Amino acid sequence: MSAKAKVLVVDDEDVVRRAYVRTLSSESCKVEEAWDGMEALLAMEKQSFDLVLLDQRMPGLDGMTVLRTIKEKWPESEVIMITGYPAIESAKEAVALGAYDYLAKPVGPDEVINAANAAVRHKKWALRGGPQESISLGRVAA
């Protein structure tokens, strides 16, 4: 059985968030969006997501706090941290908290697709011991 990947895009910048949503929607994903950390956590309470694209710096709850909460409450969701302020220390912290990947802005469409595909593949393999359900983003970008 194949299911569309469910993705939550969290970024306080409208242009960036909409670009990621448009890119992933074109890959046949079911994409939801949130503009800050609190809205993201409310969305997670309503439904599960295979993948969360998460901005590191946002008003209110920052990305690291949201990442920590996601991994505590919904450990099966993969998270890709995206930031306009990359630093080795924050990359290490994100990975230690359970982020699948850490990307520096600007992130182009192919990079978003490739990272998302890798994260969803990782989730699929991690769940292999359970029901044999395939999650797909559609085509794999070269």
Q: What is the pTM of this model?
A: 0.87
Q: What is the pLDDT of residues 111-139, one digit of tens each?
A: 999 999 999 998 887 766 544 444 455 54
**Domain definitions of the chain by residue range:** 2-136
Q: What is the pLDDT of residues 12-30, one digit of tens each?
A: 999 999 999 999 998 878 9
Give the per-residue pLDDT at 141. Answer: 42
Q: How much is the average pLDDT of 37-52?
A: 97
Q: What is the pLDDT of residues 58-84, one digit of tens each?
A: 999 999 999 999 999 999 999 999 999
Give the per-residue pLDDT at 1. Answer: 25
Return the CATH fold of 2-136. Answer: Rossmann fold (3.40.50)
What are 30's two structure tokens? 């079911």
What are 78's two structure tokens? 């993969």
Residue with the bigger pLDDT between 2 and 8: it is 8
**∠ CA 9-11-16 to the nearest 5 degrees?**
90
Whether 142 shows a pLDDT value over 80: the answer reads no
Name every residue whose Cβ is closer than 8 Å to that of residue 88 and which is 6 or more positions away in sequence: none
What are 67's two structure tokens? 């990442």
Distance between CA atoms of 57 and 61, rounded to whole angstroms?
9
- The string of DSSP codes covering 104-142 is ESS--HHHHHHHHHHHHHHHHHHTTTS---EEE-SSPP-
Strands 134-136 and 2-4: parallel
Give the per-residue pLDDT at 128. Answer: 66
Give the per-residue pLDDT at 26. Answer: 84
| 6-10: strand order across its sheet | 30-34, 6-10, 51-55, 78-83, 101-104
